[in-house]
A and B are shown apart, each in its own frame.
Chain A
Amino acid sequence: MVDVRERTGRWAAPKVLGRLLLGHVGRYRDGRLQDLATATLRADPASRSRVVSIVNATLAARRWLTGVVLLEPRRLVSRAQFARRARAATAGANRLSLLCPTRGRPDRLAALLRSLDRTVAIGHRVEVLCYADTDDPALPAYRALFDRAARRYPRLDRCVLEVGEPVGVPTAWNVLAAAATGDYLLMANDDQMYVDYGWDVSLDRTVAELAERHPDRVLCLYFDGGQYPAGGYDFPIVSRRWHDTLGYFVPTIFQQWSAEKWIFDLATRVDRLFPVPGVLVEHLHYQDYRAPFDATYQRHRLTREKSFSDQALFLRTEPDRARAADTLRRAMAEPAPHTPNGATVMTTTDQAPAPAGDEVGTRSYLLQMARRYYGNLIDAWHYGGRAEQARECADLAVAQGVWEHPLQRAREFLPGISATPVHDPAGFWFTGYLEEHYPQIRAEIEQVLDSAVDPVTPTVDDAALIRRGQWKQAHLFRDGRWQDAARFFPVTSAILAEIPEVTTLSPGVITVSRVLPGTHIMSHCGPTNAVLRTHLAITVPPGVSIRVADQVMAWTEGRCLVFDDSFEHEVWHEGSEDRVVLILDSLHPELAGDHQERLRQRRLTFEEQIVAFMQERGVERIEIRDGGLVFHPDATTQELATLYMAATGIVGAELTGDGVTWQRRGGDG
């Protein structure tokens, strides 16, 4: 990382300025300059020098100049030539949807809309769908822009502003794709500018040519105005059939531009990537010295860590892309369902696909019940130290098809995901990152432990697993949210916040776990095999070990251990000092990414759990109300409770720990 403060100090400022200004010449814009520019521009306003304003001023001037000298003349020329080109065009007009998330740049978006309005040859077939965040200070300006859009951009069919939570660019693209009505979906950004007149007809023509060869209409395209070096492309365009086959526009797991790379990778795999030649769409991005730096770029925070994290995630999700490509190939094997040319195919805006038929198989929930009861039974044997009995039960469960392996007994069990007790940490990019930051994490945790406000307290959730000794925990993250305890660990939390796999994408917890000498945590299995568990060892005295399935291991300070905690595991502490580890959950890699089938299966498993849950309790309806859950009992259960209550004159009851608070008729609590 570049230390900005140092570089922008009084000493370095002129040098930095010079270096940045040199970037206006293409051949000086190498990777190191990018780093320097990014770091300089991103520095706190307080520590920013005039360097930024000077560089930004030159960038703004350059953008204006580019527009006047290059782009506008090019548009005029293309317009003049269009009449000739259009005669050759015989294709029908497709409906086109541009999908454009935006933030803090109503003026840039207005420029994009204007460029579209001025370059589209066939009116009333382009819709522009934009997504703005509810917390965007520029929201009123956006609303004003869209109120006037129909009048100001008359050649566009409609401009729609979706306003929603700040969900991130990829999710916003998907939201817009779901609302789009076009035959082709075009990825767009507010710093783009359409230059060549009649790009829409060029697209029609390319598509018409391809339709003869590929009647299945599974297509991915990009505009190629000759601006790319060999093999480069940007801003994918996908057909309706492509989108509906995959069920999404872009994957949402990435923070940066790997989303585009994903689409192009799929297109290359199925050999369906085609340029729309002769169409220039400018991308006015500051990294190419085409736009000044602004708050929106600041917000995206293209840091190297994130870039590496995305890259690692991209590599790791290769199997997911292979499967997605298979899905596309299957669609390619059959012709597209007939839709009248230009007709719109409506899609639902419901993001969560409904489970098949909105119902689950009649009795598969009983298998979930069997898993739970086997789990209880085996836990009882382990609790009593009867490993042999536990094993007999596990073997029988496997023989009966309840689980696949006697040592892997998740109550929420997804069949068919690869099951390995211990995983190689090197397969997860963030283990290296965690180990790199181990000294800071350790220093902070040590400082908090034993302080007056130490939030690491005896576990409540897992107390039943302790056979001897003491186990203390603090959850920094759980239920998809940072917890109160996190504020005691600001450094650690900031480090962890850079790892989407264990935070925004995490299905589990981040926990500081402290085990005292003499502790024995009995053999047990985690609740689900959909999650892998990473331990970053903080303080590990000798004499502490963990068994996972049949492997007994020791932690090493500063190193990560990745294991599947749905396999039976057990911890002994025969040492003399506390053992501390940082526990982090991440989704099983085969479930990560937009893997529709697996996610669907997981949802089905959840559904079976819910059916079992409700059946057993006689609950007919569950709803979230006022942030809490309310159960509505079925008629039988209601009568039963009424019967019990009638015998006592009680109209309400509340369990509080070991006690009960009765509410009796007459209303006195």
Chain B
Amino acid sequence: MTAADGAHGYLVRRARVGYGSLVDTWMLAENEPAARECAALAVKQGVWPEPMQRARDHVPGLTARPLHDPTGFWFTGYLEEHYPLIRAEIDRVLDSPASPVLPTLEDGWLTRSGSWQQAHLFRDGRWQDAVCAHFPVTTAILAEIPEVTTLSPGVIMISRLTPGTRIMPHCGSTNAVLRIHLGITIPAGVTIRVADQVLAWQEGKCLVFDDAYEHEVRHDGAEDRVVLILDMAHPDLAGELRDRLLARRPLPEDRIVAFMRERGLGRIGIADGRLEFAPDPATRDRLAAYLAGAGATGVRLDGDELHWQRAADRG
């Protein structure tokens, strides 16, 4: 790919989004061979350099390997040093009735079985005060690490998996970010696969990986698994490149707009105390055609089952 070819860049970005959705669909359908075939074709067509690393937002030229050596980052040692304090606080909060660690809202579709709970301490370049209030000790410790806070393009979150949980194979959204897991509570029987390596966490130890590589998690143990997740900019990104990455951190308003655009919504608002959405014209037309085709005036989804509302009997 020539750097000058802007049109080509746009095209490849569209192709990455298309392939990304397609591979996710096959993974959702638990048809891994089909997903692999698509990934292989994408690589053949120059969409990504390798079939396992499939970020929709792919920055070419960054050192690409699934796992990075934690000792290459000063703060992993610092985190491990403070592990007892962090763990004590997290344990206490998780057992409390007011725990802010709740079923994930954004990543729920990746959960094939079980339950995946999260709480974000930091995101979009800002501390999330409501959550941080539960974790003052941990927040204070993390505040000392600019790489995962002021200079972080990502999130800090507590992630809890209940026994029996499966998180399907997926890729993170960008390879410009590396992800650190500090193992808080790790029962036996829990594994994470990153590309072709199957790993287990260790309590009090950090794991650094490139989550743009396909990864999946299996929890066959008997107790909850808890890790603290921290994002940092890829170390190859420095100076202007990193500034640009940070400048792209979304405002909450951007998230609302993205939320609406992803879903084809024209309007969101509250009616009778409940949130209601109205589709944008294109989505409305498409849906109206589906409803007309099914001869329905309304529909309710219950799991994978549709329940129809049809026009009332002739008057």
Give me the interface of A with B, judged by CB distance under 8 Å: 162, 164, 175, 349-352, 354-355, 358-360, 362-363, 365-367, 369-370, 373-374, 376-377, 380-381, 383-384, 386, 389, 392-393, 396, 399-400, 479-480, 602-603, 605-607, 609-611, 613-624, 628-634, 636-645, 647-648, 650-655, 660, 662-663
Report A-chain residues with C-beta under 8 Å of the C-beta of B289.
Answer: 479
Report A-chain residues with C-beta under 8 Å of the C-beta of B287.
Answer: 610, 613, 622, 629
Q: Are A640 and B253 in contact (CB under 8 A)?
A: no
Q: Are A641 and B275 in contact (CB under 8 A)?
A: yes
22 sampled A-B residue pairs with Cβ under 8 A:
A350-B313, A351-B295, A367-B29, A370-B22, A377-B19, A380-B18, A384-B11, A603-B294, A610-B290, A617-B264, A618-B263, A619-B263, A621-B298, A622-B299, A623-B297, A631-B276, A641-B256, A645-B256, A653-B268, A653-B269, A660-B257, A663-B269
Q: Are A370 and B25 in contact (CB under 8 A)?
A: yes
* Total A-B pairs, Cβ < 8 A: 217
7 tightest Cβ-Cβ pairs between the two chains A and B: A377-B18, A652-B269, A352-B295, A384-B11, A606-B293, A647-B252, A380-B14
What per-residue 1/0 map shows which CB atoms of B231-254 lie under 8 Å from chain A? 000000000000000000000110
> In the complex, what's the smallest C-beta–C-beta distance from B99 to chain A, in angstroms?
16
Nearest CB in chain B to that of A643: its residue: B105
- Asked whether A621 and B41 contact (CB < 8 A) given A164-B314, A633-B275, A651-B270, the answer is no
Q: Tell which of B51-59, B88-96, B205-213, B301-309 binds the partner.
A: B301-309
> In the complex, what's the smallest C-beta–C-beta distance from B36 to chain A, in angstroms?
11
Q: Which of B260, B268, B270: most chain A CB closer than 10 A?
A: B268
> In the complex, what's the smallest C-beta–C-beta distance from B38 to chain A, in angstroms?
7
CA distance A352 to B294 in the complex (A): 8
Q: Are B294 and A606 in contact (CB under 8 A)?
A: yes
Q: Are A655 and B260 in contact (CB under 8 A)?
A: yes
Q: Does B62 contact A (CB under 8 A)?
A: no
Q: Are B108 and A636 in contact (CB under 8 A)?
A: yes
Q: Tell which of B158-166, B176-184, B195-203, B278-286 binds the partner.
A: B278-286
Q: Are A352 and B310 in contact (CB under 8 A)?
A: yes
> In the complex, what's the smallest C-beta–C-beta distance from A278 to chain B, in angstroms?
38
CA distance A588 to B307 in the complex (A): 28
Report B-chain residues with C-beta under 8 Å of the C-beta of A613.
Answer: 286-287, 290
Q: Does B266 contact A (CB under 8 A)?
A: yes
Q: Are A609 and B290 in contact (CB under 8 A)?
A: yes
Sample of 12 further A-B pairs with CB below 8 A, known A360-B306, A619-B277, A631-B279: A349-B314, A359-B306, A360-B304, A370-B25, A383-B11, A392-B41, A602-B293, A610-B301, A613-B286, A615-B301, A641-B275, A642-B275
CA distance A374 to B38 in the complex (A): 10
Q: Are A629 and B279 in contact (CB under 8 A)?
A: yes
Report A-chain residues with C-beta under 8 Å of the C-beta of B108.
Answer: 636
Q: Are A623 and B280 in contact (CB under 8 A)?
A: no
- Asked whether A621 and B267 contact (CB < 8 A) given A380-B18, A636-B108, A641-B259, the answer is no
> In the complex, what's the smallest C-beta–C-beta distance from A407 to chain B, in angstroms?
18
Q: Are A380 and B275 in contact (CB under 8 A)?
A: no
> In the complex, what's the smallest C-beta–C-beta distance from B114 to chain A, in angstroms?
15
CA distance A393 to B41 in the complex (A): 8
Q: Are A630 and B278 in contact (CB under 8 A)?
A: yes
- Asked whether A655 and B280 contact (CB < 8 A) given A615-B301, A632-B274, the answer is yes
Q: Are B275 and A622 in contact (CB under 8 A)?
A: no
Report B-chain residues with C-beta under 8 Å of the C-beta of A621.
Answer: 298-301
> In the complex, what's the smallest C-beta–C-beta distance from A644 to chain B, in angstroms?
5
Q: Which of A354, A376, A620, A630 contacts B21 (CB 8 A)?
A: A376
Q: Which of A607, A642, A652 contacts B267 (CB 8 A)?
A: A652
> In the complex, what's the smallest C-beta–C-beta distance from A18 to chain B, in angstroms?
48
Q: Does B65 contact A (CB under 8 A)?
A: no
Within 8 A of A (CB), among B17-67: 17-19, 21-22, 25-26, 28-29, 34, 37-38, 41, 44-45
CA distance A418 to B28 in the complex (A): 31
Q: Does B221 contact A (CB under 8 A)?
A: no
Nearest CB in chain B to that of A401: its residue: B34
> In the complex, what's the smallest C-beta–C-beta distance from A302 to chain B, in angstroms?
27
Q: Are A614 and B301 in contact (CB under 8 A)?
A: yes
